[in-house]
Amino acid sequence: MQHIEMPELKLEVEYFNKNDYTCYGELLYININSILSLYIMLIISNIYCIMTKPYKVIILMIIFLSACSTLKNENVTYKLDSQLLLSKKVEMQLPMPFHIQKDNYEEGVVYFYSFVDSAIIIILQGSMVELPIDKYKPQKSKIRNHRKISVGCENNKFWRKDVYKGVNIYYDNVSSSNKRVYDKILNEIKITSY
């Protein structure tokens, strides 16, 4: 069985040290889901180093408010995404923006979708692979329309795993405020043979 790790990125990030009022760099290992937030923080931190104190407070408030982002508002745009797996075609409406990473392995294919709210969707067709989410203990499982659905909560974030037509579909790291959005995506996903 092959074990697939979630994508990581190694970045050098500059940030402000308020103790000695200097900027310095440090290597960070971050999950690919945090790229957009990190990019914004990097830009703000470079500006932050040269600002006066009143503006620093405003910048910190903006960072805090942007960190509390959700997909709940009505202005979210959706894009129809379509992917070919080994023998299936998957179509789903996804909130913009998102990032896709495709991993082929000997016996299958995996698509990782990451979103600005740090949630991820994983589409997997194949065998002999174990994802971290597969180790979670479900709080509830049911079968609906030939689809096995398992749901649970890890670290105060929701996850879900659907097994349908030979394809495993997951979401993970979903906040309670965005759970309805991601449930709708998985409920309305279309899987066809090609």
pLDDT confidence of residue 56? 63
pLDDT confidence of residue 61? 62
Domain residue ranges of the chain, discontinuous segments joined by +: 2-67, 78-193
Cβ contact 158:152 at 8 Å? yes
CATH of 78-193, one of 1.20.120, 2.60.120, 2.60.40, 1.20.140: 2.60.120
Nearest CA among 103, 125, 105, 104 for reference residue 113:
103
Average pLDDT over residues 92-109: 94
Q: How far apart are CA 2 and CA 119, in angstroms?
A: 24
Whether the pLDDT of residue 187 is over 90: the answer is yes
> For the sheet containing 157-164, what is the strand order?
98-105, 108-115, 120-126, 167-174, 157-164, 147-154, 140-144
The β-bridge partners of 147 are 144
pLDDT by residue (tens digit) across 22-81? 333 433 334 444 455 555 655 656 665 666 666 666 666 665 555 555 555 557 789 999
Cβ contact 120:34 at 8 Å? no
Average pLDDT over residues 152-159: 96
pLDDT confidence of residue 141? 96
